[in-house]
Amino acid sequence: MLATLLAAASLQAGPFEDPAPPAVNEAPAAEDAVAEPFDRLTEISPPVPRHPEAINADWPRFLGPTDNCHSPETHLLSSFPEGGPAKVWELQKGTGYTSPVIVDGRLIFFDRIDDEETIDCLDPETGRRYWSYAYPVEYSDRYGFQNGPRASAIIDSGKVYTLGVTSTLTCLDLATGALLWQRDLMSEFDRASFFFGHGTCPLIHDGKLIVPLGTNGEDKGLSVIAFDQNTGKTVWVTEHEWNASYASPIIAGLQGEPRLLVFQGGESDPAFGGLLAINPNTGELLDAFPWRPDKYESVNSSTPVAVGNDQVFLTASYQHGGVLLKLNESLKWETVWEAPEFGMHWMTPLLLEGHLYGFRGRNEPDAWLASYDVATGKENWREDEQWSIPLESGREYRMKYLRGSLLHADGKSYALGELGSLGILNLSPDGVETLERAQLFLARSTWSLPVLHRGLLYVSQHEADVDGNGPRLICYDLRAGAE
């Protein structure tokens, strides 16, 4: 009964009095900028030349150019040189669980250095820095995880947008790093509390910066807010009980129109959340589908996957599983099938030619790679590959991908395991074939999807490794070369 009431409850979005419209600064005139070396950067070796026929693509948001872990890039390595892919450069990073974004020859990385959330603009091929912007932050994770930001930056229309762990929303000029506007959403909107701080990556659509939020409303809080991306002023709000989760919103074409899909489900008691279908132009809530584990200390973290014209796949861990939904002609959600064994903790499953692939599992020991048929909802296969790597002590260490990530490009799937293993896989409904594998480093919490740009792969190492290296952002050369 509670789930039915929550799903049905909504308020028509409409005019909303903005509590604190930000001051807007003009961007200074951009001069010819030169990227400079700095103390946290180690330059290692230039990459090989890019193949002249290679297709390149920017990476403006953390799941890639189409928000689904796919890249159109071509002419990438199908096998690694001895010792693994070559390092181009590496950056000593601070705390946080973000990955870089790259547009127009500018790489933006967002982390926490000491007591400041820091936004660095780098040359993606050298790691040298064009500019840096920082502001103070006070946050301590109550569960003992890192104290830095969870949401990667966004680049759009010559601007950089970040959402910090305490809900500081910042807009910078990409060319110069100048502050254009900034908001403190936690204080301005009486933001609800989060288990691990604010961690959903915002979305930009048609001039609007869309932020899943959640406030302490007596009945229905402000679940989602859209801001004007140029001025930071509120455009519309969607009111609902469900608070922001750690999944990120997407736009999908459903029933012939773009629909905003927001997978909510953060801290609440009792635990509730699910998928909101919203008109991205007005904020009108079309329908809400409950999908959330009933455990208090649980979250929805995997971004929805648009499947075909009218379907969406959701997945949640904590013994809840996956579900395929259809938005019908009445703009209401219908369940197509459920997959109780296909629950992912945070990775976004990969859709390839009518089949889903993903590393399911809540914890390290219960994770494995599986594939499901979209048409039937049946499991194609599951695979829990194991191998050994040598340690300096002479011992062999048993390895798995555990709760890994999948990135698809150039007809191959690149798997990044949470202990720093990188594999090249051939995924099909008949099984998985490992084409190549390398151990980039041995460190826990490698939880961010790697980023691909112009044949270079960027991996965020969030914890110190067994060799004594601290957290790093590492650039690897995946270029197949010009020969």
Q: What is the mean pLDDT of the chain?
A: 94
C-alpha dist (Å) from residue 168 to 5, 250, 301, 379: 32, 21, 20, 42
User: If we measure between CA atoms, which residue out of 39, 41, 50, 36 comes closest to residue 91?
Assistant: 41
Query: pLDDT at residue 1 above 50?
Result: no
- Give the tens place of pLDDT for each residue, 165-199: 999 999 999 999 999 999 999 999 999 999 999 99
304-341 pLDDT, tens per residue? 999 988 999 999 999 899 999 999 999 999 999 999 99
CA 448 from centroid of its chain's CA atoms: 7
Of 199, 198, 179, 89, nearest to 132 (Cα)?
179
Residue 3's pLDDT is what? 36
Segment 216-225 shows an average pLDDT of 85
**What pLDDT, on a 0 to 100 scale, did the predictor assign at position 218?**
66
Query: What value does the mean pLDDT take over residues 141-168?
Result: 97
Domains within the chain, CATH numbers bracketed: 2-11+38-477 (2.140.10.10)
SS3 state of residue 348: coil
Phi/psi of residue 109, nearest 5 degrees: -125, 135
pTM comes to: 0.95
Model confidence band, residue 162 (pLDDT cutoffs 50, 70, 90): very high
pLDDT band at 382 (very low <50, low <70, confident <90, very high): very high
How confident is the model at residue 478, as a pLDDT? 98
Q: Is the pLDDT of residue 429 over 90?
A: yes
Sign of the CA dihedral running 367, 294, 337, 284: negative
* Rounded percentage of the chain residues whose pLDDT exceeds 70: 96
Across the beta sheet with 333-339, the strand order is: 305-307, 311-316, 321-327, 333-339
Identify the pLDDT of residue 14.
Answer: 52
CA torsion angle 75 80 82 83 (round to 10): 120
Q: Which two tokens stand for residue 273?
A: 């959340």
pLDDT single digits (tens) 82-96: 999 999 999 999 999
pLDDT at residue 5 in the model: 33
Encoded tokens for 133: 């912007």
pLDDT score, position 474? 99
With the CA atoms of 217, 300, 461 and 149 taken in that order, what torsion angle do they form, in degrees rounded to the nearest 10? -10
Chain-centroid distance, C-alpha 428: 24
Residue 300: partners with Cβ closer than 8 Å, 6 or more residues away? 245, 246, 247, 263, 264, 265, 266, 273, 274, 291, 292, 314, 316
Per-residue confidence band for 11, with pLDDT thresholds at 50, 70 and 90 = very low
> Distance between CA 242 and CA 156 in Å, rounded?
28
DSSP for 61-93 reads STTTTTTSSEE---SB-SSPPTTSSPEEEEEE-
State the Cα–Cα distance between residues 349 and 302, nearest whole angstrom: 8
Please say if the pLDDT value at position 2 is more than 90.
no
pLDDT confidence tier of residue 106, bands split at 50, 70 and 90: very high
Residue range 75-84: mean pLDDT, rounded: 96
Instruction: Name the least confident of 219-228, 236-245, 366-375.
Output: 219-228
User: Would the pLDDT of 15 be above 80?
Assistant: no
Evaluate if residue 6 carries a pLDDT over 80.
no
